[in-house]
Amino acid sequence: MELTMTTFDKREQGFEAKFVHDEELMFKATARSNRLLGLWAASQLGLSADQAASYATALVTDNLERQTIDDIVSKVSGDLAAKGVAREQVAQKLLEYLRQVMQQLEVDK
Burial classification of residue 69, based on how many CB atoms lie within 10 Å of its CB (0-12 exposed, 13-18 middle, 19 or more buried): middle
What's the mean pLDDT in 42-56?
97
- The residue ranges of every structural domain in the chain are 34-108
pLDDT score of 21:
77
* CB atoms inside a 10 Å sphere around CB 21: 11
Distance CA 94, CA 92 (A): 5
d(CA 90, CA 93): 5
- Provide mean pLDDT across the span 17-25: 80
Record the pTM: 0.80
